[in-house]
């Protein structure tokens, strides 16, 4: 099936009608919470564990993908229990996603242990790695996961042109689920920060360069390689549907525009 509608969840609990109409959860964002504590603080960890378990049970016959922490530094700096304060001029391109996870390995391992505890009784749950730009990051993550004897599926976010253009290298490593994060990918490709009001109106989600990157992914899209489009997709659904990838992960706040 192509162009199946799935969900991208922050901290919402979907209503039954939505659950019955979508094909699963393409991405659960671990960092989306109002809790002012860092991810390793026990109370925050328990919150993540409970929410993820609930979503897996609600979608017990459908896939759920947990995206590991992608807290940018300016937010992490404000959370109680963070490792240390880090100042960056451009957090969008800084120590976030897998860069931060591999920089602070103890934190990453604690998060994986929480994930694995949930995944042990919810086999519909897969692991999704964000802000990957090089295969070495995936190799390191796989080595860590082998130490935990993880037998489930591993996916990566495609948010950086370097990852899209070398997608074959990730496939060779055994990755078979790719979530294209169009928000960051569009920003990085066009050199425009969507968070800056002075330039965000220049962003073109249908730019020819985006079409080029999606066409490149089509070369590797097979029955065994799952590609999902995610992000602020509701206003450009016709454009993304034209590529006929497996699914489109729509933010819960916009899901009623698409069902």
pLDDT digits (tens, 9 = 90+) for 101-155: 999 999 999 999 999 999 999 999 999 999 999 999 999 999 999 999 999 999 9
Domains of the chain, by residue range, sit at 4-257
Residues 194-253: pLDDT tens digits? 778 888 889 999 999 999 999 999 999 999 999 999 999 999 999 999 999 999 999 999
Name the CATH superfamily, with its identifier, for domain 4-257: Phosphoenolpyruvate-binding domains (3.20.20.60)
For position 245, what pLDDT does the model report?
98
For position 95, what pLDDT does the model report?
96
Q: HSE of 216 in the Cβ direction (CA atoms, 13 Å)?
A: 16
Sign of CA dihedral 38, 73, 129, 212: positive
Here the tokens at position 149 are: 């004897």
Is residue 132 a contact partner of residue 96, using CB atoms and an 8 Å limit?
Answer: no
Phi, psi of 40 (to 5 degrees): -90, -10
For position 154, what pLDDT does the model report?
98
For position 1, what pLDDT does the model report?
72
In angstroms, rounded to a whole number, what is the distance separating the alpha carbons of residues 71 and 53?
A: 21
- Residue 101 CB contacts under 8 Å (≥ 6 apart), including other chains: 68, 69, 107, 108, 111, 129, 141
With H, G, I as helix, E, B as strand and everything else as coil, classify residue 248: strand
For position 196, what pLDDT does the model report?
81
């Amino acid at each position: 099936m192509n162009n199946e509608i799935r969900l991208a969840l922050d901290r919402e609990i979907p209503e039954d009608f939505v659950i019955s109409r979508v094909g699963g959860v393409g991405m659960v964002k671990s960092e989306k919470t109002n809790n002012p504590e860092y991810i390793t603080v026990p109370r925050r960890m328990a919150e993540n564990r409970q929410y993820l378990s609930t979503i897996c049970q609600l979608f017990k016959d459908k896939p759920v993908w947990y995206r590991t922490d992608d807290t940018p530094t300016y937010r992490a700096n404000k959370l109680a229990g963070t490792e240390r304060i880090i100042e960056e001029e451009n957090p969008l391109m800084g120590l976030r996603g897998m860069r931060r996870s591999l920089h602070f390995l103890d934190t990453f391992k604690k998060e994986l242990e929480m994930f694995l505890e949930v995944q042990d009784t919810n086999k519909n749950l897969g692991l999704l790695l964000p802000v990957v730009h090089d295969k070495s990051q995936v190799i390191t993550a796989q080595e860590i996961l082998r130490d935990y004897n993880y037998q489930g599926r591993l996916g990566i976010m495609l948010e950086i042109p370097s990852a899209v253009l070398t997608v074959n290298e990730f496939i060779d490593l055994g990755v078979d689920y790719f979530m294209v994060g169009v928000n960051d990918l569009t920003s990085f490709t066009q050199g425009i920060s969507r968070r800056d009001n002075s330039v965000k109106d220049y962003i073109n989600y249908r730019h020819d360069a985006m079409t080029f990157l999606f066409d490149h992914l089509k070369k590797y899209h097979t029955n065994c390689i799952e590609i999902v489009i995610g992000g602020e997709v509701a206003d450009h659904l016709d454009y993304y549907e034209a590529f006929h990838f497996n699914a489109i992960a729509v933010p819960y706040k916009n899901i009623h525009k698409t069902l």
